[in-house]
């Protein structure tokens, strides 16, 4: 199967990862604070190049656990 540019609309592709501004909007923090928490490994995220990316489920779990990592 080959995909041609423009053959799939952006509405058909689910957003699998959130950016720092999406996390900031979702949890009510500034982008700078989200980046700081991710940089210090408080908020679960990782960098792709210069950009932070976050798993929405990990963020929901983090919020549900009052800002603590999920217990093992």
Q: Read off the pTM.
A: 0.73
DSSP string spanning 9-27?
A: -GGGS---SEEHHHHHHHH
Q: What is the pLDDT of residue 69?
A: 62
Type and span of the H or E element at 51: strand 51-54
pLDDT(65) > 80: yes
Confidence tier at 13 by pLDDT (50, 70, 90): low
Please, are residues 59 and 26 in contact by the beta-carbon 8 Å criterion?
A: yes
Average pLDDT of the residues in 35-61:
96
Average pLDDT of the residues in 46-55:
96
Q: What is the pLDDT of residue 5?
A: 53
Please choose, from the candidates 19, 3, 8, the residue with its C-alpha nearest in 3D space to the C-alpha of residue 51: 19
**CATH numbers and ranges of domains, the chain:** 15-64 (1.10.10)
Confidence tier at 1 by pLDDT (50, 70, 90): very low
């Amino acid at each position: 199967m080959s995909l041609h540019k423009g053959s799939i609309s952006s509405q058909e592709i689910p957003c699998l990862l959130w950016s720092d501004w999406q996390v900031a909007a979702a949890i009510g923090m500034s982008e700078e604070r989200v980046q700081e928490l991710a940089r210090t490994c408080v908020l679960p995220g990782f960098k792709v190049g210069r950009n932070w990316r976050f798993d929405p489920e990990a963020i929901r779990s983090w919020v549900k656990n009052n800002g603590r990592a999920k217990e093992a």
